[in-house]
Amino acid sequence: MTYTADKQREYSRAEVANHDNSESLWVIRGNQVFDLTNFHTDHPGGSDMLLQFAGQDITEAMRNSSIHTHEIHAYRVLKDFYIGNVMADDHQNYPEAPGGIDEMDCVPKEEFLDLNKPLFMQMWRSKFTKKFYLQEVHRAHHLPEPAVFFANPFLETFTRTPWYVIPIYWVPIIITLLVLGAKYEPPNVMMVGFMFGIVSWTLTEYSIHRFIFHYDENLPEGTLAQCAHFLLHGVHHYLPMDPLRLVMPPALSTFLGVLILGIMCCVFTPGMIHAVSAGLGTGYVLYDECHYWLHHGTSSNKHLCQLKTYHLRHHYKDFKAGFGITSDFWDNVFGTQFTSSA
């Protein structure tokens, strides 16, 4: 089978075997060749696991649940990295797939969006049912470059946010809040408010992710609702490794921040408002930077690796659970932790 008509090149197994490192990582699956160089650091099972099979045939390894469980979504992702076929002389016969049908043949035909065209106008002109939309938007895809939202370059700029913009934008605001608050409260009171704000952010993070970003089942029918959902969070599940859409654009985070500040003005006194706001802002910056790392970072630290696996499980296996990003604490409190060991 061939996934992209213009990719008919053939490779020998020896040629593939030469691409056996992080700088050039190719694999064979079912006599087809895939270039995973730009994916191994994003692999939900960790980069090291994928590097073990660099330059090798992974057909049976993907079926071996003792190594790493792979479901149909994994084959859909693999499909995005197809570059050609193994030469006929090097073809290998494989044992029959479980169920008698090759996993690649089970990947549903793409009927959602064309990733080679601007995404927003496709969504705007769509007539998807809610059921179809939610099903398709939670099927992860990968692109070598950031996706294009708008054909207009000016509008496109506002949809892209590099990770470093977040601290550049928010840290001066946080410092200003602390300086202004110090005019009303002594340092010890400011510290208490600041720490309360950081701790409160963990619940805020969980709540926004669960009840706003994943307003899935309650989403109204209709294109307008789907466009809003897609822009707010849907695209992140559709393209989870797009590096320019992993942190919240300042315009959106500022809007949410003003809403939260308005609520706090009804609860806290001057000084304490500043301290708690600064704590919430600090928690948010740490959250957004952590979120970016969970998608693109690597570490030998066991806790960080577990956190990365936990979050990517939300993307690749069960988007209806695992809403905590920096911690699974609130998932355990509210019973939204993953229930399956798969």
Q: Tell me the pLDDT tens digit for each residue of 182-230.
A: 999 999 999 999 999 999 999 999 999 999 999 998 999 999 999 999 9
State the first-to-last Cα distance of the chain, in angstroms, to the nearest integer: 29
Range of weakest confidence among 14-18, 76-80, 163-167, 324-328: 76-80
> By C-alpha distance, which of 59, 62, 60, 82 is closest to 10?
82
Provide the mean pLDDT of the chain: 88
Domain ranges (residues) in the chain: 10-106, 137-334
Q: What number does CATH give the domain 10-106?
A: 3.10.120.10
Share of the chain above pLDDT 90, in %: 58
Ramachandran sector of residue 220 (left: φ over 0; alpha: ψ -120 to 50; beta: rest):
beta
Binding region for Zn(2+): 209, 214, 233, 236-237, 291, 295, 311, 314-315
Binding region for heme: 43, 70
Q: DSSP of 261-279, one letter per residue?
A: HHHHTTTS-TTHHHHHHHH
Binding region: 43, 70, 209, 214, 233, 236-237, 291, 295, 311, 314-315
Share of the chain above pLDDT 70, in %: 95
DSSP alpha helix (H) spans, 127-271: 130-137, 153-157, 165-181, 187-207, 223-229, 235-238, 250-264
pTM: 0.80
Condensed to tens digits (0 to 9), the pLDDT of residues 326-339 reads: 999 999 999 999 98
* Residue 3: per-residue pLDDT: 47
Band of pLDDT at residue 1, cut at 50, 70 and 90: very low
Residue 113 has which token pair?
């969006």
Mean pLDDT along residues 167-189: 95
